[in-house]
Structure 1
Amino acid sequence: MNPELILALQLILAHVITDFVMQSQKMITQKREKKARAPFLYFHAFLAGLLTYLIVQDWRMWLIPIIISVTHFFIDLWKLNKKNDSLKYFLLDQFFHLIVLLLVWLYLTSNFSEVLPFITYIFNSTVTLVVLVGYLIVIFPVGFIIGKATRRWQEEIAGDEGKFPSLQKAGRYIGIFERILVLTFILTDNFAAIGLLIAAKSILRFSDKGKSGARKQTEYVLIGTLMSFSLTIIIGLLMRVLVLQ
């Protein structure tokens, strides 16, 4: 196996063990309550560096675990000082940790000089651009189009929301994930899985009809689903044509 890939996996393994495996809820609660005064915060940061040092096993690079420990400490402290522990700050926290690991990997593999050529290659690659643009289109513009196209039905069932409440913005996120799945199935030649996805969603929606009597809501969701799938399939097929040119 490529030694550079092994190093990347080793760095990620050390991070995952530190941040997820070796943190109990009690330890996390202590960090949130005491912040910079929490003993576990210091132990946690030290552990991040120590595990990296032990897993990578490059004993000459003693400065690397120190850098990882120090940056881990300040990134976690930044997150702890935020008022709410939301998904946004969790993702930012993990993003900053991964940026540090990427910089460490570039240093250990002497690949800093390859960063700009790699970025240039990525943004001049037809396949990369087609995939990136395609996924962004099905996530954002397609959702906007469906929202506009189904506006009249949204208004028609708006009066029923008080009787049959649903999770806030749940439909929007369901739509995003299903379009990502459909596009992925198309690009990986798994067209049969799309039919299973449609069937599963249809069964779930109609199984709820008897409980809530929300026929209008069920029909509205299925219309949105079919529009979502149709547009995503068209975009996916166009992407395949562009990639195979």
Structure 2
Amino acid sequence: MNDSLLIALQLLLAHVLTDFVFQTKAWVSHKQQLKAKSWFLYFHAILAGLLTYLLLQQWTSFLVPIGIAVTHFFIDLWKLRAKEDNLKVFLIDQFLHVLVLALAWWYLNAEQVEVLKGLKEFFTSPYFLAITTGYLLVIFPVGFIIGKATKKWQEEIAEEEALSSLESAGRVIGIFERILIFTLILTDNFGAIGFLIGAKSILRFGDSKTGNARKQTEYVLIGTLMSFALSILIGSLVRVLIF
């Protein structure tokens, strides 16, 4: 294992231990109530720096552990002062932490020129570009196409009876469904796609009897088949390009 990868794993492990393993619900609750007055917030930030120092084992270097402790404190304070504690805030919080880790990794990496060269080759690689474009296609344009293609059936169902489902649940399910199918195709696991179809059929089996419930099931089936077909098509094209 090269030094660059080792440093990255050490920094990431320290963060995971700090934010997810050693941080208890009581700590989180105390910080949410008292915010900057909570001593847990300060201890949590110090723990981030201490674990970084111990895992890096660069005993004469204190700049990175101290920098991580200080930035961890202010990032968490921003999160505590946010109006809502939702997924968006959580993702921004983790993104900022990872950004700090990336800067620390860059600072500690003795082969910065080689890393830059590797990143340049990575982002100009047809393999990387094909896979990235494929994932973006199945997540965004395919969902848009399916939504437009099934709009008339969705409106027909809505006219008869309001759909009783979670808001945007179908769109989110479809995104993860297409990502999974695309990944299975890239990893040459075509057979597993059949299990996905079977699992989704079982979930909808009880709703396919009569009336509007049957129309809903048919609508979901149409969308599912379109989702599967387009994902398989894109996945197959990407495989032709990269293999």
Give the TM-score band, short-chain normalised.
over 0.9
- Residues in 2 aligned to 1:233 and 1:136: alpha-carbon distance in whole angstroms: 14
Alignment-mate amino acid for residue 4 of structure 2: E
Residue type matched to 1:140 in 2?
Answer: F
Per-residue CA deviations over 1:123-175 (Å, capped at 9, x if unaligned) read 3110010011110000000000000000010001114553x511100000000
Task: Flag structure 2 segments of 5+ consecutive residues without an equivalent.
Answer: none
1:167 aligns with 2:192: no
The aligned residue for residue 56 of structure 1 is: 56
Deviates more, 1:10-19 or 1:176-185: 10-19
Q: Tell me the CA shift for residue 6 of structure 1.
A: 2.1
- 1:184 partnered with 2:183: yes
Q: Aligned residue for 1:27?
A: 27
Give percent identity, aligned residues only: 63
After superposition, give the CA deviation of every residue in 1:44-82 in whole Å (9 maximum; x if it has no partner).
000000011112211011221111100100111111111
Distance 1:202 1:243, change over 3 A: same
User: Residue 115 of structure 1: CA displacement?
Assistant: 5.1
Map 1:1-245 to 2 at 5 A. Answer: 1-114=1-114, 116-159=116-159, 161-162=161-162, 165-209=164-208, 214-244=213-243
The residue type equivalent to 1:92 in the other structure is: I
Q: 2:207·2:214 contact (CA, 8 Å) conserved in 1? A: no
**What is the identity, as a one-letter code, of the residue corresponding to 2:154?**
Q
TM-score, normalised relative to structure 2: 0.94
Instruction: Name the amino acid aligned to 1:36.
Output: A
3-state SS of 1:190 partner: coil
The alpha-carbon deviation at position 114 of structure 1 amounts to 4.1
Change (3 A) 1:208 1:177: same
Normalising by structure 1, report the TM-score. 0.94
Q: Write out the 4+ residue segments of structure 1 that deviate beyond 4 Å after TM superposition.
A: 210-213
Task: Count how many residue pairs are aligned between Structure 1 and Structure 2.
Answer: 243
Aligned counterparts of 2:213 and 2:172: Cα–Cα separation in 1: 21
Give the gaps of 5 or more residues in structure 1: none
Provide closer, same or farther for how the CA distance between residues 44 and 161 of structure 1 changes in structure 2, counting only shifts above 3 A: farther
After superposition, the CA RMSD in angstroms is: 1.7
